[in-house]
Amino acid sequence: MIATHLLSLSIWLPIAGAIVVLASASERNPGMARVVALITALLGFLVTLPLYIGFDTSTSAMQFVEQTPWIPQFNINYFLGVDGISVLFVLLNSFITILVVLAGWKVIERKVAQYMAAFLIMSGLMNGIFCALDAALFYVFFEASLIPMYIIIGVWGGPNRVYAAFKFFLYTLAGSLLMLIAMLYLFLQSGGSFNILDWQAQPLDLSTQTLLFFAFLIAFAVKVPMWPVHTWLPDAHVEAPTGGSVVLAAIMLKLGAYGFLRFSLPILPDASHALSGMMIGLSLTAVIYIGFVALVQGDMKKLVAYSSVSHMGFVTLGFFIFNQIGMEGALVQMISHGFVSGAMFLCIGVMYDRMHSRQIADYGGVVNSMPKFAALFLLFSMANAGLPATSGFVGEFMVVLGAVKYNFWTGFAAATTLVVGAAYTLWMYKRVAFGAVSNQHVAKLADLDQREFLILGLLALCVLGMGLYPFPFTDVMHASVDHLLKQVAASKL
Amino acid sequence: MNFVMPDFYPAAAEIFLLAMACAILLIDLLLPPAQRWVIALLTMTTLVGCAIITFFTIDGQVVLTFSNMYVDDMLGDFLKLLVYLSVAVMLVYSRGYLAVRGLNKSEFYLLVLFATLGMMVMISASHFVSLYLGLELLSLSLYALVALDRDSARATEAAMKYFVLGAMASGLLLYGMSMIYGATGTLEIGGVAQAIYHGVANKTVLIFGLVFLVSGLAFKLGVAPFHMWIPDVYHGAPTPITLFIGSAPKLAAFAMSLRLLVYGLIELAGEWQLMLMMLAVLSIALGNLAAIAQTNLKRMLAYSAISHMGFMLLGLLSGVVGGDRHFALNAYSSAMYYTVSYVLMSLGAFGMILLLSRAGHEAENLDDFKGLNQRSPWFAAVMGIMMFSMAGVPFFIGFWAKFSVLLAVVDTGQVWLAVVAVFFSLIGAYYYLRVVKLMYADAPEDAAPIQGSLDMRLLLSANGLAVVLLGLFPEELMRQCALILLRSL
């Protein structure tokens, strides 16, 4: 029973846990909510482990498949399955959820149960997005995940949270509604099927493909986010509570990139090829231009937000150069970015909890008062800049390699990020951590407590582990990436 | 001329309701005012009785009676059951509100019963005259209900507006019917269809009549540009009456549109679909844009009703493409599904206003919902569910309603229409989200505890859960809608 419904469990267990959290905890007894949420998050991660252990790396076929009719009238099925691409994100998501619950342990004092429940529900919904093989099911999860995030930003966010929450919701909804129409169109074209695998085999002419490509592009580009529709992200990040920023950066941004892999590339291969120049251009703009934008930010969260946009530009670049190393590099980059950006936001959260400021100018000399923290923060900053031996390097290097293979100047342009990225991250680090203690608030800072050390330490292990030995990740995705590239190469005309 | 005794059996529920209404009228004379609750109980009993009668006479046959003026089919039975349900829910929601304001008069219950009878006749009409009779019975009861609180200037004004405009719309409808009668020589809806099919009708006169007919329908549905009465009446009427107008009559108006346009005038689909398209696009645009500017929740929901009815029309206008009718079943059942789900959401949203209202305080402004999450997390969640569902976000029923309508629209190849519709529902999402924001992100202005009787709280909770559950498992209701139309078309 459990073995055949692992994916369902990974989706519905956190959601059921969230209901328990809401039902069991009162405002007077927030401890209960925290404990139940942590147990749920741990269990949620536990049920995803067999997915990795039992995963057959030799095949690109969908595994752990579950299929039952859901709405037979429209031939919508509750159809779940993972391949080498999505299984990693299910694991990542369930792992990050634990950290998020821990990160909000002390900081969140208002409406604890609702806070925890919102994150657990979101975790379940995002697992649903990665597992869904039925487009309608995918869409339902995709859009439903907006609700908890909207509430997280709107309720526990910063001073300008309402604006950010609206912007986040409406931007994303705008994109996804067009995708809905594209999906309905594909449903009719394919003779009444919402099965994504059927769609991948469906012949389509080039003009149709192009229109559908743009409809999907808007949805996914907003979510990634790609330049020029990235402007919601800095606002959302700055206003969101730490946990919200972590989930947003580590998981939510991956949904858009994942959408490209699941929909745009295999279903619309000819349009993807025809428009790859545009996609590469947009990606490089994000990588370079947004990198410079990040350089001038005075707000740390905003800086990391822009650096996320820049890093995600690398991911989309890796997809649209259509070679194995580029695509795998992009996937590694997605996972690495999940760890690194999550860790960066947690580090900023650690400082914000003590100083209630995210301005770089308010800091200086943090290393003197918080040595343990400064060491870990340095590691994550280095990873963000793509230093070898950290996970950040692996992905970026592979994508640059792939890009050079595709076209030297593309690779050259992409490689500038190694300079720009190092510049904005390390400069920020220098201004925050090094130098003399700038003011008495910094002097009074307390170093990491055990809980914070545990969270950041776990992430540090992931970052280093993945940087030194990335094969556990790349082995899993190999067959699926291979298969995907074959699908993209085969014309549907 | 010999008189044939009609078959009363298919109209048993209506006859029962009428008999009960007359009985209640008499009982009311004998009751001392302190025992008003008996009237409420009897009204509820009547509805339950009607439901039992209707439910146990469902047989899947299409039976015509009263000289083909009246039809008993699955569509009618299904919609009538939903009407009883939503009227009963309305009665439970409004009891406390009316009692506190001294509006708990027997007239209220009687008028509601007569309005229900009107809706039932409308739903089952297969003849222009019976349709008109039902419509007028409903409308006149509603005019009076809006003015129930006769000391309120706002309510009286609303009733007056409603009456004047409603009478004009009835006139339009009647004029259209007479034109069609002139062209086809019959008042029977089935006969009209036959006459047009055989080509004996004068097309010019028909189209002329059709325009008036559609205008009348548009008024009753409350779609732009015939929507002027909606915001004022929704705003001015006592909230239980707003709840009433915003729920069950939508079902009846849907049935009326289906009977007239699809059963009677399907041959002219090319013409009326174009008209409905204009009405739909205008309503969706205007409803969603105007709702943003509202600070009064009842007014906001009024504009939202306009846009929802516009969305419903999108389903209705996707049935026939260039004479090809194989889309019809999906299209009409999506419109029906949309109407049913809208009624469910509308009940919940107005129910929340009633729940928050108390003596001397109408919780009808958006600001009254500020910080609701701190006052009652559960009911904030219920209202949140209603708002997200109306905005069309999954996993709520409102999403599947929009989904099935959009599918029907895309199926006919009118992708641009679907794009317009989603563009404006995106704008619409803003004002629904604003309500959620007020409840969750703001501090309460009003710290009074939530009152409301236990039955109301339970029912409202069930209403919220229904929106979620029907969103998680939409299959059954969707299938029923399709099945019923399949058996009735």
Query: What stretches in chain A show pLDDT beneath 70?
Result: 1-2, 25-27
pLDDT value at residue A27: 65
* A225, A290, A330 from A253: Cα distances, Å: 7, 16, 13
Q: Do A114 and B441 touch (CB under 8 A)?
A: no
Instruction: Give the H/E segment covering residue A144.
Output: helix A135-144
DSSP label at B63? Answer: E
Residue type, A433: A
Instruction: Give the H/E segment covering residue B43.
Output: helix B37-56
Q: Do A139 and B411 touch (CB under 8 A)?
A: no
pLDDT in tens, B29-80: 888 877 878 888 899 999 999 999 988 888 878 888 888 888 888 888 999 9
Nearest one of A103, A224, A214, A225 to A156, comparing CA atoms: A103
pLDDT in tens, B304-351: 999 999 999 999 888 887 777 777 888 899 999 999 999 999 999 999
A269: cis peptide before it, omega within 30°? no
Q: What 3-state DSSP class applies to A90?
A: helix
Chain A closest CA to B181's CA: distance in Å? Answer: 39
- Do the domain assignments include residue B2? no
Closest chain B residue to the Cα of A77, Cα to Cα:
B475
Residues of chain B in Cβ contact (below 8 Å) with chain A: 373, 377, 388, 393-395, 399-400, 403-404, 406-407, 410-411, 415, 418-419, 422-423, 425-426, 429-430, 433, 436-437, 440-441, 474-475, 478-479, 482
Could you tell me if B441 and A150 are in contact, meaning their C-beta atoms sit under 8 angstroms apart?
no
pLDDT value at residue A450: 83
Q: What 3-state DSSP class applies to B318?
A: coil
pLDDT value at residue A107: 78
B225: cis peptide before it, omega within 30°? yes
User: Which residues in chain A are closer than 8 Å to B430, comparing Cβ atoms?
Assistant: 166, 170
pLDDT in tens, A327-361: 888 888 888 888 898 898 888 888 888 888 888 88
Nearest one of A97, A184, A107 to B400, comparing CA atoms: A184
d(CA B368, CA B439): 9
Which residue in the set B388, B410, B425 is minimally distant from A147, CB to CB?
B388
User: Which residues in chain A are closer than 8 Å to B477, comparing Cβ atoms?
Assistant: none
pLDDT value at residue B241: 92
Chain B closest CA to A211's CA: distance in Å? Answer: 12
- Which burial class, exposed, middle or buried, applies to A4 when counting CB atoms under 10 A from its CB (0-12, 13-18, 19+)? exposed
pLDDT value at residue A44: 87
- Do the domain assignments include residue B197? yes
Which residue in the set A71, A146, A180 is minimally distant from B406, CB to CB?
A180
What number of other Cβ atoms are within 10 A of residue B485's Cβ? 25
How many structural domains is chain B composed of? 1
- Do the domain assignments include residue B360? yes
Could you tell me if B191 and B183 are in contact, meaning their C-beta atoms sit under 8 angstroms apart?
no
User: What are the structure tokens assigned to A37, written together?
Assistant: 């949420």
Closest chain A residue to the Cα of B385, Cα to Cα:
A147
Nearest one of B322, B313, B181, B308 to B254, comparing CA atoms: B313
Helix axes B475-488, B74-100, angle to 10 degrees: 130
pLDDT value at residue A60: 81
DSSP label at A31? Answer: H
How many Cα atoms within 13 Å fall on the side-chain side of residue A366?
27
- Do the domain assignments include residue B4? no
pLDDT higher than 80, residue B452: no
d(CA B407, CA B296): 33
| Rg of the Cα atoms in chain B | 22
pLDDT value at residue B234: 92
pLDDT value at residue B101: 84
Nearest one of B368, B306, B355 to B460, comparing CA atoms: B355
Q: Which residue has the higher pLDDT, B266 or B142?
A: B142
Q: Do B475 and A72 touch (CB under 8 A)?
A: yes
Q: Do A185 and B410 touch (CB under 8 A)?
A: yes
Question: Residue A66: beta bridge partners?
Answer: A80
CA B44 to chain CA mean position, Å = 20
Query: A22, A150, A179: which to substitute to probe chain B, counting the most B Cβ within 10 Å?
Result: A150
Helix axes B297-316, B328-356, angle to 10 degrees: 170
Residue type, B465: L
Which residue in the set B406, B423, B440 is minimally distant from A154, CB to CB?
B440
User: Which residues in chain A are closer than 8 Å to B482, comparing Cβ atoms?
Assistant: 73
pLDDT value at residue B163: 92
User: What are the structure tokens assigned to B167, written together?
Assistant: 């009478």
pLDDT value at residue B377: 84
Looking at B203-321, list the stretches that DSSP marks H as alpha helix, in order from N- to C-terminal side.
Answer: 203-221, 229-236, 239-245, 248-257, 269-292, 297-316
Chain A closest CA to B235's CA: distance in Å? Answer: 27
User: What are the structure tokens assigned to B384, written together?
Assistant: 């949140």
Q: Which range of residues forms the domain containing residue B43?
A: 9-488
Q: Do A187 and B474 touch (CB under 8 A)?
A: no
pLDDT value at residue B1: 52
pLDDT in tens, A80-116: 888 888 888 998 899 989 888 888 887 777 788 888 8
d(CA B342, CA B404): 13
pLDDT higher than 90, residue B112: yes
What number of other Cβ atoms are within 10 A of residue B433's Cβ? 25
User: Which residues in chain B are closer than 8 Å to A166, comparing Cβ atoms?
Assistant: 430, 433, 437
Query: B422, B468, B479: which to substitute to probe chain A, counting the most A Cβ within 10 Å?
Result: B422
Torsion of CA B465, B466, B467, B473, to 10 degrees: 110
> Is the Cα torsion angle B262, B264, B268, B274 positive or negative in sign?
negative
Could you tell me if B400 and B341 are in contact, meaning their C-beta atoms sit under 8 angstroms apart?
yes
Looking at A204-299, list the stretches that DSSP marks H as alpha helix, in order from N- to C-terminal side.
Answer: 206-223, 232-239, 242-247, 253-259, 265-267, 269-274, 276-295
- Do the domain assignments include residue B327? yes
pLDDT in tens, A171-188: 888 888 888 888 988 888
User: What are the structure tokens assigned to A232, written together?
Assistant: 């919601």
d(CA B357, CA B336): 32
Which residue in the set A71, A144, A169 is minimally distant from B478, CB to CB?
A71
Could you tell me if A20 and A44 are in contact, meaning their C-beta atoms sit under 8 angstroms apart?
no
Q: Measure the CA angle with vertex A460, ends A456 and A461; round to 5°.
A: 120
pLDDT in tens, B180-196: 998 888 888 888 888 88
d(CA B445, CA A192): 51
Chain A closest CA to B353's CA: distance in Å? Answer: 22
- Do the domain assignments include residue B351? yes
- Do the domain assignments include residue B257? yes
pLDDT higher than 80, residue B144: yes
d(CA A327, CA A261): 10
Band of residue B2 on the pLDDT scale cut at 50, 70, 90: low
Looking at A356-449, list the stretches that DSSP marks H as alpha helix, in order from N- to C-terminal side.
Answer: 366-369, 371-385, 391-406, 408-433, 440-443
- Do the domain assignments include residue B101? yes
What number of other Cβ atoms are within 10 A of residue B453's Cβ? 14
Q: Do B474 and A71 touch (CB under 8 A)?
A: yes
What number of other Cβ atoms are within 10 A of residue B447's Cβ? 9
Closest chain A residue to the Cα of B472, Cα to Cα:
A70
pLDDT in tens, A271-328: 888 888 898 999 988 888 988 888 888 888 888 889 888 888 888 988 888 888 888 8
Which residue in the set B388, B410, B437 is minimally distant from A184, CB to CB?
B410
User: What are the structure tokens assigned to A236, written together?
Assistant: 């959302």
Q: Do A146 and B393 touch (CB under 8 A)?
A: yes
Band of residue B8 on the pLDDT scale cut at 50, 70, 90: confident
